[in-house]
Structure 1
Amino acid sequence: MNRTGKESRHLSICVDRAADDVYAYASDPANLPAWAHGLGGSIERIDDHWVAESSPMGRIVVTFAPRNELGVLDHDVTLPSGETVHNPVRVLVDGAGSEVVFTLRRRPEMSDADFERDAGMVAADLVRLKELLESA
């Protein structure tokens, strides 16, 4: 538990690609359908937001942190209910490669099974990201 009483889990994966390469790919919302299946199979830019219509959660709006040199890939996901979930993500330099760290925060209404399911989905997304980047 963190200071606010909410549970967080850090999921990470090492990628045999430079952090700048990983960040460049992962920070482009148009690439999300290829590796972040939890956000849906398609995403399109509508005004200043990215919208996924085919998300497992329904229609969601994704808002990304501005591009930066620090490897911050944070994004907010606004659910159909109007609730916004903040997702901290970092690309860290790890020698010649990198590490991608996703902080999964448990929402108050989540059951243990829901939290584990979300953790599994994030872990699978990170594996897909690694595979795509290492095969390119």
Structure 2
Amino acid sequence: MNSSDTGSRHIDVRIRRTADQVYAYAADPLNLPSWAHGLGGTIEEIDGRWIADSSPLGRVEVRFVPRNDLGVLDHDVTLPSGETVHNPVRVIADGDGSEVVFTLRRRPGTSDADFERDADTVAADLDRLRTLVEGT
């Protein structure tokens, strides 16, 4: 795939905790900085909006879907440029554990190297989520 192509990659991690346990932790915006380092080190609610600061992307707004019983953790990230990136995420029951699937969408103009770097960042974030949730 070259940089002019678009597409998606599904990045997943299996977690030895129930889907409800994983969802409860991951759906709390205040937990985001502990596992989603791609969004930076802090997040706070300002006037009903979740703002991540000190992120590698700069100051961004993160909008989450309402909490639900389906394991949907989708969130939109609005970049400083005003571009909004939609991030589909699912927590799926898997026996007595769960699987978290993040769909990384390739933005137009993204080079192969940048797409791989984004995929590596997402995989590391999901691995941190696994470590944190399994440690509780």
Structure 2 distance, partners of 1:47, 1:27, is 19
Matches within 5 A, 1:27-42: 27-42=27-42
Give the partner amino acid of 2:8. Answer: S
- The runs of at least 4 consecutive aligned structure 1 residues that moved more than 3 Å come to none
- Listed one character per residue, the Cα deviations across residues 19-47 of structure 1 (whole Å, up to 9, x for unaligned) are 00000000000000100000000000012
Give the partner amino acid of 1:12. Answer: D
- Listed one character per residue, the Cα deviations across residues 20-77 of structure 1 (whole Å, up to 9, x for unaligned) are 0000000000000100000000000012211011000000000000000000000000
Number of the residue aligned with 2:99: 99
Calculate percent identity across the aligned residue pairs. 71
* Unaligned ranges ≥5, structure 1: none
* Unaligned ranges ≥5, structure 2: none
Structure 2 distance, partners of 1:47, 1:82, is 18
The number of aligned residues is 133
Structure 2 distance, partners of 1:84, 1:74, is 13
Give the partner amino acid of 1:17. Answer: R
Please, what TM-score do these two structures have when normalized by structure 2?
0.96
- Listed one character per residue, the Cα deviations across residues 51-108 of structure 1 (whole Å, up to 9, x for unaligned) are 0110000000000000000000000000000000000000000000000000000000
Number of the residue aligned with 2:128: 128
The reply to whether residue 87 of structure 1 matches residue 81 of structure 2 is no
Give the partner amino acid of 2:48. Answer: D
Structure 1 distance, partners of 2:82, 2:73, is 22
State the SS of the aligned residue for 2:101. Answer: strand
Structure 1 distance, partners of 2:34, 2:119, is 19
Structure 2 distance, partners of 1:7, 1:124, is 20
Give the partner amino acid of 1:16. Answer: R
Matches within 5 A, 1:47-66: 47-66=47-66
The alpha-carbon deviation at position 109 of structure 1 amounts to 1.6
Please, what TM-score do these two structures have when normalized by structure 1?
0.96
State the SS of the aligned residue for 1:43. Answer: strand
